[in-house]
Amino acid sequence: MVSPVLYALLASPILYAAWNKLLRRRRTSVIPRNQERVIILGASSGIGRSTALQYAAAGAKLCIVGRRQAELDKVKAECLQARKSGADSASILSIVADFTSPEDMVRLRSELESVWSGIDTLIVSAGVSAIRPLLDLAGLAKPRSVDSTEQVSAEQMHRTVNTVNRAMKGNFEGPLVAALAFIPLLQFSSRSPSILLVSSLGAALPAPTRSVYAASKAAALLLYQSLAIEHPAIAFTWVMPSTVQGNFRSTAVDRVDGPDIYKETKEGLKQEVVARRCIEAVDNGEKHVFMPAPFCRSGQAMYWWIPWATEGIARRKYNFAS
């Protein structure tokens, strides 16, 4: 006799797929793609740029936001080219703004209220990298040596804290300000409001040399997870990819001259693949999205069940073994 628990386990993938399909149909029927008002923070490069191109090709009303005018102009031109049908001046907007600046976000919000009377989808894709071990960042000559008696001075601590604050500003303060600026607008202006946070596997699974980056990304992830409970009218999604191809490492707040660790990453997930999954997740109303799912989910499970094994594998991979 098959137990009810087994029946439930066998049926759950089918039920989940059916639920996703129904939810997708509901949102797209409420807000057709050519009526969807999408704002992308951090659209001048990387995953944000790829997401913008795909939304533009699908016909959505699009506002791309970034700090660099020249880069935004390039992306807007690409979006106009990707658009399959003609686009009027209000269907693709490009606005220079810093998402860590409350004044910039209020200005951006006022512009969107004036042109579109609100928004439906907020994509928070901006962020910065940090890839040096904490004590190496502090300036210790041999931070991993048990034979070294060197310690961190007050001056080194201040310098390290300043660098960490830059990471927190880009990876936590920015998403915080964006949430403050746009949650109320989403709630009263959209029939199906959605927010997507482009996070990182590092926010859910620790890795060597990523302590500062992981901490800042995890802070934003937990913020949005809490906001999802506080604002049930909005569908929240967070996408947590592993390594993504591109030059994201060049944004590192702990960058120093010399090492090639900041060069372009040629291995990993393609930006356009992550962008496609982001849009799919928003349409489906998904909550947690790991990429690639099997690797990330198994890594997370291993860390919780056998942390010593996960830590040992990571130490050997990154040459931290004692």
Residues labelled catalytic: 199, 213, 217
- Alpha carbon distance 146, 108 (integer Å): 52
Residues with Cβ within 8 Å of residue 61, at least 6 apart in sequence: 34, 35, 36, 37, 38, 90, 91, 92, 116
Residue 171 half-sphere exposure toward CB, CA atoms < 13 A: 26
Structure token digits, residue 163: 């660098």
C-alpha distance across the termini of the chain, in Å: 52
Question: Are 199 and 221 contacting, i.e. CB atoms less than 8 angstroms apart?
Answer: yes
CA distances from 292 to 43, 120, 152, 166, 190 (A): 23, 27, 38, 29, 31
Instruction: List C-alpha distances in Å: 139 to 82, 156, 283, 321.
Output: 47, 7, 46, 20
Long-range contacts made by residues 233-236, C-beta under 8 angstroms, separation at least 24?
Answer: 233/187, 233/193, 234/183, 234/186, 234/187, 234/193, 234/194, 234/195, 235/27, 235/192, 235/193, 235/194, 235/195, 235/282, 235/285, 236/194, 236/195, 236/196, 236/197, 236/287
Q: Which two tokens stand for residue 314?
A: 């990571």
